[in-house]
Amino acid sequence: MAFWRPGAPQPAHADPWELDCDAERHRALPVFNSSASLPVQQQRRRLPIARQRLAILHAVETHRAVVLCGATGCGKSTQLPQFLDEAGWTAKGYVVAVTVPRRLAAVTLATRVAQEMGAELGREVGYRIRFDACVSPGSTRIEFMTEGILLREMLSDPLLTRFSVVVIDEAHERSSNTDLLLGLLKKICRKRPRLRLVVASATVDALAFLNFFRRGAKVSAGRKQGFIFHGIEP
């Protein structure tokens, strides 16, 4: 069996193949989001979490702490803050806070949610990260931030009085900031019964969070094998 060597003429039986960089650059890339061409509101309705909107809002209304577990891509990071805003949790000047582990995620999520709401970034929807803040005090209703920023907020406002709901997103990454926030927020919820805490995780192993809040119930939700676990302090 003969092998082709570099520099030798191309074998006659070989399939001709030539990489055209310009053609590759302008070729349409494959689209993995089948809803990308739809209007934004239709994209929102197609997300798996949309089917559980009422169940989630009921859990938040009736429980001080909710552990929301759904697979990556179910829409919990972008849709949950909007559900809370639409349900009136941002009325009377209150703000829904969403913490994420990384600064880039805070900026990206805020940009996407502002786009879906048809709002200007920095007005109704904003973000705060280290060395950068894009918010409008008195106008911002949904605020994305890193966990460290919320910890700094507690230094000046220990009871987080300007927030109605605090969402701890990507809680399964379990950093030291995450554990510290959960411990402090658990105590704050005792002092402020109307404050709500939502712990969002991309794994179904939410028992550690559920046990932390001692008492809870389980409701089906999310995408594939997702669950909502919610608990309340006695």
The percent of residues in the chain predicted with pLDDT above 70, rounded, is 74
pLDDT confidence of residue 209: 75
- Range 119-127 average pLDDT: 96
pTM: 0.76
What integer best gives the mean pLDDT of the chain?
81
For the ranges 14-23, 53-62, 212-221, the lowest mean pLDDT is seen at: 14-23
- The answer to whether residue 46 scores a pLDDT higher than 70 is yes
| Residue 124 contacts residue 90 (beta carbons within 8 Å) | no
pLDDT tens for 79-93 read: 999 999 999 999 999
Q: Which domains does the chain possess?
A: 48-206 (3.40.50.300)
